[in-house]
Structure 1
Amino acid sequence: MRRRINKFNKYRYPPWLRQTRAVCVQFIIPITVVQGVRTILIPTSFDVLFLAVLILLAAALHLDWI
C-alpha cells in the first residue's frame, strides 16, 4: 500500500515556531485594520502595497497556507 505524503503538517514544526505563528495570527488583523484606515486617510503607493501584503498574509495565516 502506498503511503500518502502530507506536505504541510503544522504539528511537525518546533514549539517556538508554532508559538510565533500563533502570536502573528493574533496581531495581523488589528495591524491590517489600522493600515487600512491609514491608507484611506493618506493614500500613498507604499501604503497600498503594504496593505495588500498584509491582507495576503492575514488570509494565508487564517487559511493555514503558511
Structure 2
Amino acid sequence: MRVTADNERCIGAGQCVLTAPDVFDQDDDGLVTVLAPEPGAELTDAVWRAGDLCPARAITVHED
C-alpha cells in the first residue's frame, strides 16, 4: 500500500489526522502531510477510512 495526498485539493478538515495520526499530519496552513507514504499492514483499515472520510478527496490509497 502507498498513500499520496493532493495539497491543491485539501481543505484542511483534518479527518485524516483524526483517523490515522500515524500516517497523516497537517502543516502550518492546515493542509495534509503524509508522514508514512508506505504504512504498515496494521494501519490499512485506518488509511482506507481516512481516504473515505476526506471531504475534498485529497487522499489516494494505491494498492501495490
Greater percentage in strand = 2
**Same fold by TM (over 0.5)?**
no
TM-score when scaled to structure 1? Answer: 0.27
Greater percentage in helix = 1
TM-score when scaled to structure 2? Answer: 0.27
Asked which structure has the greater RCO (Cα within 8 Å, sep 6+), the reply is 2
